[in-house]
Structure formats: structure tokens, C-alpha cells
Amino acid sequence: MQVVILGSGSPLPDPERAGPSTLVRTSAGDVLIDCGRGVLMRAAATGSGAGSLRALLLTHLHSDHITDLNDVITTRWVLSFSPSPLHVFGPPGTAAVVHGVESMLDLDVGYRLAHHDELTWRPSTSVTEIDSGHVLDEGAVRITSARTDHTPVHHSLAFRIDDGDASVVVAGDTVPCAGLDLLCKDVDLLVHTVVRRDLIEAFDLPRLTDVLDYHSSVSDAAATAARGGVRTLLMTHLVPAPTPGTENAWLDQAAASFSGGVLLGSDLLCVDV
């Protein structure tokens, strides 16, 4: 199994960091977790793309995590040679969001159907709204989910993917919580969103400091990894984005609470599990 950080950024636009998205390459096919801005541009650099996705998993419905959902749907459709539904799994509300995106695309779909005689089908999605528990089984691959705490987001999820003896957990935005702890037990790799509490507090701007009460700090994510007996912690969705030369400060904060391996996410970072 292979994990690729397609987007390590946040809602703050950054020329070096696409929006939150993680690709997990399994024996059953490519699984995409979240689809922030620029996701298909980054996926193209890995040889993946919308047409090769076995499933799209959404951790929650904040805009920065689903910005390019329309691009994934449209690109899968226009580059296919027969109907190929996009299988989407996400929290309650996912069906309404996907339906809204499809409605937004109605004019575009009509234009393309009118122009391409061989394109005789509309884009197609299969949406499954989920809670904690089983998501998908295919061959040696098993995907499970757990509810996390991103209040006031009413329903947010983390996902665990097991492929044979290899395992990875991808956590969306969350504070430390029991659901994530349960999912992380003895996992090989934990991909966790993080913020730097010390740097954000220094800005002293309510719009920024407000994010601290529903995101994990570096220390929080490291403590979660330690409690679960995780082998390696990979930090992503970095707020604020590290400036060149400051990367060790992030790693040192994590190492203070976690004795396992620690990686700092960057776009197209690839980890074999």
C-alpha cells in the first residue's frame, strides 16, 4: 500500500500546497480521501486521476475539503468511454452536496452532450452516507470509519484502510477523541491534520484563533499517535504553512509527545506502508 499526499494545504491559498487530499493506492485500486483545490493536477503527477478511483471518501463537508468535487465528477465523466459511476462515501449531508454539484453542472453537461455524438450518458455518482463502522470490503482491502469531533461540524469522520498486513488511518479535521483513538490502534501510518497553536495565537486575530478549538495541534496529533501505538505520524493540512527552514520546529513539537517516526507533509510526498 502506498500513501501520497496530493494536497497538504489549508483554506489559505498557497502556491506550493494544494487543498486537503490524500491518495491511498491499494490492491483494490486508488482511494481518494477528500478533494481540495488542485487535487486532479496533483493526482496527474502520480499517474492517477478521476477515472482510476475505486472510491472517494469525504471526512466532512467543509468547503476546503470538497472544493474540487465538481472537477472529479466532470473529469471522470468526460474522459470515460462508458458509464462509470463515481462511488462517494461520506457523512450525512453528502448526498445533498453531490446533488447540488450535479445541478450546478447541468448547463455544462448539456453543452457537452450536444457537442459530442458519442457521449450519450450523463455523469453518474453512487453516494453512500456513513457513520462509524464498515465502509467497504474488496479483496484484501477493508475500509472502516469512526466519528471524530470537529464541532460545530455535526458529523466528521476518519478512515482506516487495511490492505493485507498494512494499515493507514486518515484523519480529517478533529480534536482528540475516542473514535479516532479506537481507529488508530496499532496502525502503521496515521495521516493527521494539524495546526501550530503557538504560531496562530501569536497572530491574535479571532478569525484565526477560532480554529484552535476544533483542530488538533501538533502536540495533540502526536499524543493521539502515542496512545494508539502508531508506527509513523504524517502531519498534513498544515496551518500556517511552514516557511522554509522552519520544518524542524514542527517535527520537534511532535517528537516531544511521540517516540515513533514523524513526517511533515508536502504535496506529492509518497510513503510506502
Distance CA 36, CA 59 (A): 12
- Per annotation, catalytic residue among 30, 34, 64, 106: 64
Cell 469512526 belongs to residue: 146
Cell 510513503 belongs to residue: 271
Q: Establish whether 68 is a catalytic residue.
A: no
Which set of grid coordinates corresponds to residue 131?
457513520
CB atoms within 10 A of CB 216: 28
Spatial contact of 81 and 56, defined as CB atoms under 8 Å apart: no
Rama region for 103: left / alpha / beta (φ>0; ψ in -120 to 50; rest):
alpha
Residues assigned a catalytic role: 64
